[in-house]
Structure 1
Amino acid sequence: MELDVAGRTVRLSNPDKVYFPERGFTKLDVAEYYLAVADGVLRGLRDRPTTLQRFPDGVEGEFFYQKRAPKGLPDWLPTARIAFPSGRSADEICPTEPAAVLWAANLGCLTFHPWPVRRSDTDHVDELRIDLDPQPGTDFRDAVRIARELRAVLEEQGLRGWPKTSGGRGVHVYVPLVPEWTFTDGRHAVIALGRELERRLPGRVTTAWWKEERGERIFVDYNQMARDRTIASAYSLRARPRATASTPLTWEELDDALPEDFDLRTVPARFAEVGDPHAGMADEAFRLEGLLELYERQVAEGAHGELPYPPDHPKAAGEPTRVQPSRARKKT
């Protein structure tokens, strides 16, 4: 079938194909969802190099991440050249209109993973993304409690955070930035925030990279700000049986929110009623000097100057060994 998307025709093949078997949601349901929240999802994707997480056979089938622009790309959908940590590069799609979202949905894309940069400057981040990731023994409510303290830390630094559900058990908080800082700067800023939260909430927060060291705490995943690491965009569907969506909230809503309340069926009605709570992000842009100064003070006071990068990244100066602690002990 063909869909009219803001004046552009997008073809939808196999509209009756079931993508979420537990609830019977089809490819057409997914397309109609993205049509309903098009303005919101596009706000998070506009002009950003975007990786597509594709599920051609639905959430119970195999999936893959499409980083390079696929063949048959429409001539109206722009791309940007991005550089991977390996030094290789690729052209990645950069949505600029709602039709791009529906075109990707037709390819089986359920979750969009935009970079924190714009196609006009792919080396300088314009969003600080803080991922509060519950570890075994903790849950969404624990992440919300940490998010409240994070909000206070950000405000003390003259920054404003914008929260959303991850679509799973976690909480994401975004800070819009003036695009003058590198990925390394953004990563150091999140490390500084994580360490400050560890200091304020001992035993409840961790920046430990190795899972065996995290315990029952909320992990501040600082490596989500490393180059080629991304977070599910606002309004992205997640590959969960209930078809939950990563949903922007106000700080007041966060206290009573439950991740399962926001899904393919409920979010469009919410969007029609209240709009996009994060629409105002486009009107703000903050600076990172304060958090980078905090990072340097923490290092001067004894914190390690660098934390482990993901395994596909080159070794950074001052980075500790990437050997799992338990394995390192066995070797000695």
Structure 2
Amino acid sequence: MTPITEVEGRRLALSNLDKVLYPAHHFTKGEVVHYYATTAGSLLAHLHNRPVSFLRFPDGPDGQLFFTKNVPPGTPDWIGTAEVPHSDGPARQVLVQDLATLVWAANLVIEFHTPQWQADAPGQADRLVIDLDPGSPATVVECCEVALWLRERLAADGIEAFAKTSGAKGLHLLAPLERTPSADVTAYAKRLAVEAEQALPRLVTHRMTKSLRPGKVFVDFSQNAAAKTTATPYTLRARPDPAVSTPVTWEEVTDCQNPAQLHFLAGDIAPRLQDYGDLLAPLLNPNRARALP
């Protein structure tokens, strides 16, 4: 029998809570739901007013993955949605604005992915993102070296960058912006990527071409495009272990000598929030937003 729980006055059916999703860690679906519920204070702030794309992995990371932007079938009518422009016409996407919606979504077993703009201003980015993706044998250690260069370069333009792990192999840099057309942010990020390649040619490529990427960090500027999304801070990832896209300090980036130092699992997040608070809270502060040069 599917247990019914009440969250903020909403009745939710939570299914298969004993199902093991990450076998090596014996991490269950119930623990996924619990992780999202206990991280809600910080996670919801980064989901607020951003249409969510879901990467579902209901049978764990080794099972089928489903990426969906549209409102899933069977979504309760009390779940908030927003109309979002797409190349083939407008569509509705879910807004995760409260704990009840978050727990409902967690029951679907998902990664959260969000655009760099908010629902009331599609295509007007309020943050910059640069995805640092290492090509083997490069690792997050090389990403950190590139991130430190980009941090300085952004600072020269008056833009303060913040870092989080991707939850996979790489690192994401984020910066709060005054609302700016996504195309302009993409063009700016591409210029930075080209400059990074020129400054660090042994370490960086700004092109996605597979043959160029072994041993280098791909500085991916494309996630600033209006149609693209990025893993939301604090989302679990469909990886072999319950890895989380985790905000990190610049000291941690500077000191990283081994990929394990910047690999965080669900159980690491509550203690980090206790110690550091939300390291990406400045992204949510309109007073920290800057205009592109």
Assess same fold via TM > 0.5: yes
SS in structure 1 of the partner of residue 67 of structure 2: strand
1:108 is aligned to 2:109: yes
Q: Deviations over 1:84-127 (max 9, x none)?
A: 3x333311111111222211111121x10011111111121111
Which of 287, 298, 304 lines up with 2:291 in the alignment?
A: 287
Is the CA contact 1:245–1:263 (under 8 Å) kept in the aligned structure 2? yes
Q: Which residue of 1 aligns with 2:45?
A: 43
Q: Which residue of 2 aligns with 1:197?
A: 196
Q: How far apart are 1:6 and its partner, in Å?
A: 4.9
Q: Which residue of 2 aligns with 1:311?
A: none
Question: Counterparts in 2 of 1:240-319, with a 5 A limit?
Answer: 240-256=239-255, 258=260, 261-283=263-285, 284-288=288-292, 290=293
SS in structure 2 of the partner of residue 255 of structure 1: helix
Question: Counterparts in 2 of 1:129-140, with a 5 A limit?
Answer: 129-140=129-140
1:98 is aligned to 2:99: yes
Question: Counterparts in 2 of 1:133-282, with a 5 A limit?
Answer: 133-179=133-179, 181-256=180-255, 258=260, 261-282=263-284
Measured at CA, do residues 158 and 37 of structure 1 come closer, stay the same or move farther in structure 2, by a change above 3 Å?
same
Is the CA contact 2:183–2:225 (under 8 Å) kept in the aligned structure 1? yes
Q: How far apart are 1:173 and its partner, in Å?
A: 0.6
Is the CA contact 2:165–2:263 (under 8 Å) kept in the aligned structure 1? no
Highest CA radius of gyration, 1 or 2?
1
Q: How far apart are 1:81 and its partner, in Å?
A: 1.7
1:75 is aligned to 2:74: no
Paired with 2:219 and 2:11, the residues of 1 have a C-alpha distance of: 42
Q: How far apart are 1:35 and its partner, in Å?
A: 1.2
Higher strand share: 2
Question: Counterparts in 2 of 1:315-326, with a 5 A limit?
Answer: none
Give the fraction of aligned pairs with identical amino acids, expressed as a percent. Answer: 36
Q: Which residue of 2 aligns with 1:313?
A: none
Q: How far apart are 1:77 and its partner, in Å?
A: 2.3
Paired with 2:246 and 2:156, the residues of 1 have a C-alpha distance of: 26
Is the CA contact 1:161–1:174 (under 8 Å) kept in the aligned structure 2? yes
Q: Which residue of 1 aligns with 2:23?
A: 21
SS in structure 2 of the partner of residue 22 of structure 1: helix
Is the CA contact 2:165–2:262 (under 8 Å) kept in the aligned structure 1? no
Paired with 1:213 and 1:152, the residues of 2 have a C-alpha distance of: 25
- Amino acid aligned to 1:142: E
Structure 1: stretches of 5+ with no match in the other structure? 291-332
User: What RMSD in Å do the two structures reach over aligned CA positions?
Assistant: 1.7
SS in structure 2 of the partner of residue 158 of structure 1: coil
SS in structure 1 of the partner of residue 146 of structure 2: helix
- Amino acid aligned to 2:152: A
The list of structure 1 runs, each at least 4 consecutive aligned residues, that deviate by more than 6 angstroms after superposition, is none
Paired with 2:153 and 2:137, the residues of 1 have a C-alpha distance of: 25
Structure 2: stretches of 5+ with no match in the other structure? none
